[in-house]
Amino acid sequence: MLKKIKLIQGIGGFTKTTAGSIDLGDVTIIYGENRNGKSTLCDVMYSLTENNTDFILNRKSIPNNQAQPPKVELMFSTRAKNVTAIFENSQWAVRNPECSKLYVFDQSFIHRNVITGQKLERSNSKNMTSFILGEDDTALLATLEKVNIELREERKLLSDIEEKFTSHSVGNVSKYVNSDLPTETKERLEAKESENEASKRQITTTIQNADKIKRRHVLSAVGTQVKFDQVCDSINTVLASSIQNVHQYSLISLQNHMTNHVNNSATFKGWASQGITQIKDDCPFCGQVLSADAQALITAYQQAFNAEFDRFNNETRQSLNSLRQPFSIPNTRENLIQQHQANQQVFELYVEPQITTNQDLASLTLLLEQKHKAILVSFDAVTANSQQATKFWTPRLEQKFATPYEPSEPVSFEKLNTTAETYSQAIYDYWVAAEQINAILNEYKSSLNEAQLKSQLAVITQEKTRVGLALKRILLEPLCDQHRQKLVSVNSLDATYKSQKQQLEQSQTVYLNTYFDLINELFCQLGSSNFEIIKVPNNRGAQIIYDLRVKFKGEDIPSDKISSVFSESDRRALALCIFLAKVISLPEVERAKAILVMDDPVTSFDNERIELILIKLDELQRSIKQLIITTHYKGMAAKTAKKFKNCAKVLKLVNENDTCLIHGVEIEDMIASDHDIVFDRIKAFVEGHTHNDIRTSLRPFIENEIRFRFKKPLVDLGKNLNDISPCINALKDSGHITANVGIQLSSIINSLNTPMHEIGDDSIENTRALAKLILNVVYNDL
pLDDT at 128 over 60: no
The per-residue pLDDT for 405 is: 80
pLDDT at 537 over 70: yes
Using a pLDDT cut of 70, give the percent of the chain over it.
87
- Please, which pLDDT band fits residue 123 given cuts at 50, 70 and 90? very low
**Average pLDDT over every residue of 24-33:** 92
Q: Which of 536, 598, 577, 596 is nearest to 114 (CA)?
A: 577
Contact 721, 707 (CB under 8 A): yes
User: Which CATH number describes the domain made up of 1-100+593-671?
Assistant: 3.40.50.300
First to last CA, the chain: 50
Q: From the CB of residue 766, how many other CB atoms can be counted at a distance below 10 Å?
A: 11
Contact 632, 38 (CB under 8 A): yes
- Please, which pLDDT band fits residue 208 given cuts at 50, 70 and 90? confident
The pTM of the whole model exceeds 0.95: no
pLDDT at 371 over 80: yes
> Which ranges constitute the DSSP H helices of 414-547?
414-446, 450-475, 477-526
- Please, which pLDDT band fits residue 450 given cuts at 50, 70 and 90? confident
Q: Which of 373, 381, 370 is nearest to 418 (CA)?
A: 381
Alpha carbon distance 710, 716 (integer Å)? 10
The per-residue pLDDT for 281 is: 62
pLDDT at 287 over 70: no
The secondary structure of the chain in percent helix, strand, coil, rounded to multiples of 5, reads 60, 15, 25
- Please, which pLDDT band fits residue 772 given cuts at 50, 70 and 90? confident
The burial class, CB within 10 Å (0-12 / 13-18 / 19+), for 157 is middle
**Average pLDDT over every residue of 234-253:** 69
Phi and psi at 563, nearest 5°, equal: -65, -25
**Average pLDDT over every residue of 376-380:** 95
SS3 string, 367-382, reads HHHHHHHHHHHHHHHH
- Which conformational region is residue 169 in: left (phi greater than 0), alpha (psi within -120 to 50 degrees), or beta? left
- Please, which pLDDT band fits residue 480 given cuts at 50, 70 and 90? very high
Per-residue pLDDT tens digits for 694-751: 888 888 888 888 888 888 888 888 888 788 888 888 888 898 889 888 888 888 888 8
Lowest mean pLDDT among 87-91, 548-552, 664-668: 548-552
Structure-model confidence comparison of residues 692 and 364, the more confident one = 364
pLDDT at 284 over 60: yes
- Using the Cα atoms of residue 656, residue 657, residue 659 and residue 665 in order, give the sign of their dihedral: negative
Domain extents for the chain? 1-100+593-671, 183-244+311-475, 247-305, 673-781
The per-residue pLDDT for 749 is: 87
Per-residue pLDDT tens digits for 627-664: 999 988 877 888 888 888 888 899 999 988 788 999 99
Contact 23, 3 (CB under 8 A): yes
Alpha carbon distance 227, 333 (integer Å)? 18
**Average pLDDT over every residue of 17-31:** 93
**100-114, 524-538, 756-770 — most confident range:** 100-114
**Average pLDDT over every residue of 121-136:** 52
Alpha carbon distance 764, 641 (integer Å)? 36
- The residues pairing with 629 across neighbouring beta strands, listed in sequence order, are 29, 598
Per-residue pLDDT tens digits for 384-436: 999 998 898 888 888 888 888 888 888 889 999 999 999 999 999 999 999 99
Over the chain, what is the mean pLDDT? 84
Structure-model confidence comparison of residues 637 and 485, the more confident one = 485
